[in-house]
Amino acid sequence: MTGSLAHAEARAMTRSLARHGYLRRPTLGTGARGGRREWLYFSAGDASFDLIVNLSAVDDLRPAGAGGERIRLTVLVRVGEHWDGDVDEIDAELAGGALHARFPGGEIAVRDGALRVTAALRRRPIALDLRIVPNAFPSLVHNIALGAGQAIQWLVVPRATADGWFQLADHRQPVAGAPAYHDHNWGDFTHQNFAWLWGHAASDAASEPIAIVLTRMVDGAQATAYLQALLVWHGPRLVRVFRGSEIRIEPVGWLRRPRCFTVPRIGGLLAGATVTEVPQRLRLHASGDGDELEGEFIAHDLARIALPNDHDLGTTFIHEVIGRLQMSGSIRGTPVAIDARAVFELLRSEP
């Protein structure tokens, strides 16, 4: 591909993100108050750091809540094996119909052909300023039914590049061409009978630009899958979606860490200090119509986000698991392989 074509394609990817990745606030506004949720998730990282940012807006179902909305900004930073971060309750201007959120100390916006993500936490000495350029077209999934009246939608940008910096106390880390990822989810659901396994990885090998997203939506007992899919991109385009029974996922062992960093910070008291239900490995196998991929996700480290349930006094923990995805096989007769940094999300509930 020539330079001008590549440039045109990059602009098209960002335009596509702006066109399809807009905040769905008007849609949320017409629904019944209950389990309306929308969030923007960003991940960037390389061998020296991991950075996760999540801006979420949900119905405020706390007993003393005034029927409004809770907007929370979550930032997790990992440098070496040290985690930091927190969850801030914030006031934010969220522009329905546009991919634009403005809040104290930061914003999320499409500007000059890129996603701009800036943020600063209130109680932790953490700030960031990233320019994220999509390197793949976004993929959009609508109306995944999760049970009576509940559904989720999402948009995913599996491969992107982040430039900028983040600050952790006195440490200012430049971010230069780091692999990045973005997804945007919205819908109407609670965690009463819904959990997920969600993972993403993008090879930084220019010769084989493979990106993979694995999603598995399950019931509360994690016994029945509403949907499972393994999506494969080559370069900017989605080239294969394995679905349902084409995919086998087998957990192996348990990830044991001496400590499990938890946000919001008080969340560590809502569970034990160590994690016992996050697998150390996930063996993955996908095959169908002559295509096949096999390999595993190897978990290295994790942090967790504690979400007090709306429906009871329990807590749902979103485990952000850092690791490596190694898969190989063939699609349409062409060999495919990936060995890349990966982030998997696993949900567990505690009463």
CB of 218 to other proteins, least distance (A): 24
> Is residue 313 a contact residue for other proteins (CB under 8 A)?
yes
Scanning 31-39, 45-53, 58-66, 135-143 for contacts with other proteins by CB under 8 A, the matching segment is 58-66
Euclidean distance between CA atoms 144 and 119, whole angstroms: 31
Of 265, 253, 262, 260, give the one whose Cα is nearest residue 275: 260
Q: Check residue 257 for interaction with other proteins (CB under 8 A).
A: no
- Kindly state whether residue 64 participates in binding other proteins, applying the rule CB under 8 A: yes
Nearest CA to 348 among 310, 309, 311? 309
Distance of CA 309 to the CA centre of its chain: 20
d(CA 90, CA 57) in angstroms, rounded, equals 10
CB 108 within 8 A of CB 95: no
- Cβ–Cβ under 8 Å, residues 78 and 256: no
Sign of CA dihedral 246, 252, 256, 257: negative
The answer to whether 265 contacts other proteins (rule: CB under 8 A) is yes
- Measured CA to CA in angstroms, residue 241 lies from 233, 289, 350 at distances of 9, 11, 33
Q: Is residue 33 at the binding interface for other proteins, with CB under 8 A as the rule?
A: no
Nearer to other proteins, 221 or 313 (CB): 313
Task: Report the residue number, 117 or 303, with the smaller CB distance to other proteins.
Answer: 303
**Of all helices (H) and strands (E), which one includes residue 282?**
strand 281-288
Give the span between the Cα atoms of 31 and 26, in whole angstroms. Answer: 9
315 binds other proteins per the rule CB under 8 A: yes
CA–CA distance, 188 with 36 (Å, rounded to integer): 4
Regarding 62 and contact with other proteins (CB under 8 A), the answer is yes
Per rule CB under 8 A, is residue 266 in the interface with other proteins?
Answer: yes
> x/- contact string, 272-291, with other proteins (CB under 8 A)?
-x------------------
Q: Which of 298, 260, 255 is nearest to 278 (CA)?
A: 255
Least Å distance between CB 105 and other proteins? 17
Q: Does 267 bind other proteins (CB under 8 A)?
A: yes
Q: What is the DSSP letter of 145?
A: E
The amino acid present at 158, given as its one-letter code, is P
Q: How far is the CB of 203 from other proteins (least distance, A)?
A: 35
Quickly tell me which residue has 């029927």 as its tokens: 67
Nearer to other proteins, 38 or 86 (CB): 86
Stretch that binds other proteins, among 5-13, 72-80, 220-228, 305-313 (CB under 8 A): 305-313
Instruction: Give the DSSP H or E segment for 3.
Output: helix 3-20
CB 264 → other proteins: shortest distance, Å? 8
For other proteins, the binding residue among 144, 239, 270, 298 (CB under 8 A) is 270
C-beta closer to other proteins: residue 156 or 263: 263
Stretch that binds other proteins, among 15-23, 216-224, 247-255, 308-316 (CB under 8 A): 308-316
- Choose one: 154-162, 219-227, 257-265, 340-348; the region binding other proteins (CB under 8 A): 257-265
Q: Using the rule CB under 8 A, give the single segment among 6-14, 254-262, 288-296, 330-338 that binds other proteins.
A: 254-262
**Calpha distance 281→297 (Å, rounded):** 6
| Residue 269 touching other proteins (CB under 8 A) | yes
Instruction: Verify binding: residue 89, other proteins, rule CB under 8 A.
Output: yes
Footprint on this chain of other proteins (rule: CB under 8 A): 62-65, 89, 259, 261-270, 273, 306, 308, 313-315
